[in-house]
Chain A
Amino acid sequence: MLLRVEAVTKSFGGFVAVRDVSLSVERGRTACVIGPNGAGKSTLFNLITGHLQPTRGQVFFADRDITGRPPHTICQLGIGRSFQRTNIFPRLSVFDNLQIAVLSHQRRTLNMLTPARALVHDETMALLDSVGLAGEERSTSGTLSYGLQKQLELGIALASEPQVLLLDEPTAGMSPQETADTIALIGRIVRDRGLTLLFTEHDMDVVFGIAERITVLHQGAVLAEGTPEEVQSNEDVQRIYLGEAE
């Protein structure tokens, strides 16, 4: 198991956002967390990446306890993520967005004297190409279309050469065409790089199209877990989730 979440609980005051959730993803597999709004998907992601501290429970990455580590350490260990609300450096150019991520991954950001302009140029351009942003390197990233910003964010996450990629609703707010393109892009990248992917998603076509394991969250707790077929045929899931969605 590359990523293992063991019985984590997160409560905010009296409200329990995530209750006793366990989850594990094998190396090279694609897993998905689904659940209605407020089920605790984003909170779970934030617990894994160190943005929130679990009240109880532990998170392991490659059999190493990473519970409570700060986000920058977790990122350096090999977990990349995108956020639900697009999270880029809006006033920097596309090139600069990716370049700083590459520089940070190579631990070169404490260099205070070398001009950064032409550093890691080739790595950055290769990354730019791989997320389909060739030709946009000089655009101000905040002015890009929503879909391109999501692609850029994916590029930023990939800059740290992660083993696990966590994508929080990668197609949220996209048109059907953009959704299809994005999913194709993610699929290609995951395949090419041999990545382990954990994502949340509300579009069921996407979920059942690419996920190998699905975990269903409901009101902060795991309702069901298994292959797409198992989940689809689970009565609880049909009742509270798939049924509601129809």
Chain B
Amino acid sequence: MANLQGSIGEGALAQRRAATARDPMIWAFVAALVLLFWVPELILYMGWAKFWIQFATQVFIWSLFAMSFNLLMGYAGMISFGQAAYLGIGGYTAGLLLKNIAGLSFYLGLAAAPLGGALAALIIGYFCVRRTHIYFAILTLAFGHIVYLIAFKWYGFTGGDNGVIGIPVPGWITEPTFANYYKFVLVISVAAIYLLWRIVNSPFGRALTAIRENPERADFIGIPVDRYRLYAFVLVGAFSGLAGALIMVNDRSVYPDLAHWTQSTQVLLMSLLGGVYTFFGPIVGAVLLRTMDADITQNYPEIWQLFLGGVLVLILFGLPGGIVGFIQERDIGSGDDHATRTAKLLRLFRRKSWMFLGGALLFTTFFSILQSPGAWLLPRTRVFEPFALATWGIVPCALLQLVVGAAALWLLLRRVDRFNRIDGALLLILPIAALVLHVYLGTPLSGLLIVLLWVIFTVYSLVQADFRRAYRLGRPPNGGG
């Protein structure tokens, strides 16, 4: 039996090796591109607000910015507090070139943005990479602020706090539904993120990880550590510059705010929330932060900071690996056999599901409190209607969610070890209840977010190799071995 498994393993390995040069992930990126490409048409067709098109565009740009930032923080272990500088420099490079050179091709101006970001990162990084840890962080912060001040004060060149306005942009991008701008940003971001994906999985990416893990050892396997740190810094500067130019295109203007340090903290938070040691974590972080921003800042601007602080504390204590890190976390020893691994995965899946329910409840209850503050037991203003959840009062509403959610989850989790496909499908669609609830509460985005995270979580968990095998067999693995 062991021999059989061994030979199967080697066969798969040989196939994998044959596919060295190919990267199957490209199909995932292409699929994402194709699917997302038609979202504006869907939104317009359904008659939803155009705001959502702009919202999605923002998410793409911030995802690109956050993921490039995470190449530094998560992969190379360099925490930069001054990434906004390169966002700003990218925006200003493209903006100033397009504004001041009449007849310059728009695409050339755009292509100059990553070059500008890279050049600035080369000069600043040359000094910063000589220090590590907190000294590196403070240096990047200091240089970042210098960049901001130059943009803010040098009226003759950057326009100072008036910014650069009236930047010429092709008409087709700025058509009023934002659909074209959305597609423009989508294509560039997906391509750039795919490039980042290739970079972090290349030998260079591995070298950066080695440097993060142990710079001394990395040095003594022949990697020139400081130089590689600088390369990473320059690369990330280029991607940040590109993100800055994408923001500029929408506004047709650039302001010093783009380079302000608060923007740097945004990407830091996105990476932390989503998961630092994961590639896709920052996307989740960007979606999450933008969603909460849209749901909360619009309606309750005064508590946005409080909310952000609260979420951050919860994440750092509860899920130190971020959300994607939490989803991916598992504890499997190399010596475990198939049955042990499956048992461990099951235990972990159940525990995580309950934690997920707890998190979702906390999230929704928080929104109920926002919705009608003080209405703990009964709504204050509105009349109680049994079929309109928003009129239920906070505590009964939370209790109802707890009871219904826990009962449904308990029933399904109890049966998960039978590996019945229908149960699996039911698990997958469970969060639709949460979505309905959020639509009632007037925060559909948060509901969507819960659905999205849950689907990612269940799919990721249930397609683990051991689970997949169990599902194919349609029974627990104990008998099969």
Interface residues of A (CB under 8 A from B): 49, 51, 70-72, 75-76, 81, 83, 87-92, 96, 99-101, 103-105, 108-119, 121, 135-136, 138-139, 156, 159-160
Choose among A49, A71, A116, A118 the residue that contacts B206 (Cβ–Cβ < 8 A). A116
Q: Is the interface of B mostly helix, strand, loop or mixed?
A: helix
CB distance from A145 to the nearest CB of B (A): 12
Q: Which residues of B contact A136 (CB under 8 A)?
A: 334
A51 to B19, CA, bound (A): 40
Question: What separation, in Å, do the CA atoms of A138 and B202 have in the docked complex?
Answer: 19
Q: Are B206 and A101 in contact (CB under 8 A)?
A: no
The distance from the CB of A152 to the nearest CB of chain B, in whole angstroms, is: 11
Separation of A121 and B13 alpha carbons in the complex (Å): 10
Interface residues in B287-332 (C-beta closer than 8 Å to A) = none
B17 within 8 A of A: yes
In the assembled complex, how far is the CB of residue A155 from the closest CB belonging to chain B, in whole angstroms? 11
Residue of B nearest to A142 (CB): B213
Q: In whole angstroms, what is the CA distance A112 to B224 when docked? A: 16
User: Given the complex of chains A and B, what is the CA–CA distance between A146 and B223 in angstroms?
Assistant: 25
Known: A100-B210, A160-B222. A88 touches B203 (CB 8 A): no
> Do A99 and B220 touch across chains, with their CB atoms under 8 A apart?
no
Given contacts A90-B214, A112-B199, contact A71 B220 (CB under 8 A): yes
Residues of chain B touching chain A, judged by Cβ–Cβ distance below 8 Å, are 13, 16-17, 19-21, 23, 198-199, 201-207, 209-210, 213-214, 216-225, 228, 333-334
Shortest C-beta distance, A153 to chain B (Å), equals: 8
Is the CB–CB distance between A119 and B203 below 8 Å? yes
Taking CB atoms, residues of chain B closer than 8 Å to A138 are 334
**In the bound complex, do residue A92 and residue B209 qualify as a contact, i.e. CB atoms below 8 Å apart?**
yes
Determine if A156 and B221 form an interchain contact, defined as CB atoms under 8 angstroms apart.
yes
Residues of A within 8 A of B334 (CB): 135-136, 138-139
Q: A91 CA to B209 CA in the complex, in Å?
A: 10
Judge whether B199 and A113 touch: CB under 8 Å.
yes
B20 touches A88 (CB 8 A): no
Let me know if A110 and B204 touch, CB within 8 A. Answer: yes
Instruction: Give the distance to chain B from A69, nearest Cβ to Cβ, in Å.
Output: 12
Instruction: Using A112-B202, A115-B23, A115-B201 as known contacts, list a sample of 14 further A-B pairs with CB atoms less than 8 Å apart, ordered by residue number in A.
Output: A76-B222, A88-B214, A91-B213, A96-B206, A100-B221, A101-B221, A104-B222, A109-B204, A111-B202, A111-B203, A116-B201, A118-B17, A121-B13, A156-B217
Residues from chain A with Cβ under 8 Å of B333 in the complex:
139
> How far is A114 from B19 in the complex, measured between Cα atoms in Å?
11
| Chain A residue nearest in CB terms to B19 | A118
- Docked pose: A112 CA to B232 CA in angstroms: 11
- 4 tightest CB-CB pairs across the interface, nearest first? A89-B213, A109-B207, A139-B334, A101-B221
- 15 A–B pairs (Cβ distance < 8 Å), ordered by A: A72-B222, A72-B224, A75-B220, A88-B214, A89-B218, A90-B213, A90-B214, A96-B206, A96-B209, A99-B206, A101-B221, A108-B203, A111-B204, A115-B21, A116-B205
Tell me which of B16, B19, B204, B217 contacts A89 (CB under 8 A): B217
Q: Which residues of B are found within 8 Å of A159, using beta-carbon distances?
A: 221
Known A90-B214, A109-B206, A119-B203; judge A104-B198 contact (CB<8 A).
no
Q: Is the CB of A70 within 8 A of B224?
A: yes
A160 to B198, CA, bound (A): 25
Contact B217 A103 (CB under 8 A): no
Contact of B223 among A51, A104, A114, A119 (CB under 8 A): A104
| Among candidates B209, B216, B228, residue contacting A87 with C-beta atoms closer than 8 Å | B216
Cα–Cα distance between A75 and B334 once the two chains are bound (Å): 32
A139 to B206, CA, bound (A): 17
A119 x B220 contact (CB < 8 A): no
| A110 to B206 alpha-carbon distance, docked (Å) | 10
Assuming the contacts A100-B210, A136-B334, asked whether A105 and B202 have C-beta atoms less than 8 A apart, the reply is: no
Of chain A, the residue at the smallest CB distance from B205 is A116
* A81 touches which of B204, B210, B220 (Cβ 8 Å): B220
Which chain A residues border B218 with CB–CB below 8 Å?
89, 100
A49 to B225, CA, bound (A): 15
Among residues of B, the one whose C-beta sits closest to the C-beta of A89 is B213
A83 to B203 alpha-carbon distance, docked (Å): 24
Bound-state CA distance A236–B202 (Å) is 56
Closest to A156 in B: B221
Interface centre among B224, B225, B228 (most CB of A within 10 A): B224
Q: How far is the CA of A92 from the CA of B213 in the complex (A)?
A: 8
Q: Cβ of A96: which chain B residues have Cβ within 8 Å of it?
A: 206, 209
Q: Which residue of B lies closest to A90 (CB)?
A: B213
Contact present for A72 and B223 (CB under 8 Å) = yes
Interface centre among B13, B203, B204 (most CB of A within 10 A): B203
Q: Which residues of A contact B206 (CB under 8 A)?
A: 96, 99-100, 103, 109, 116
Closest B residue to A114 using CB positions = B202
The docked-state distance in angstroms from the alpha carbon of A101 to that of B223 is 9
Are A118's CB and B16's CB within 8 A? Answer: yes
In angstroms, how far is the closest chain B Cβ from the Cβ of A198?
15
Nearest Cβ distance between residue B211 and chain A, in whole angstroms? 9
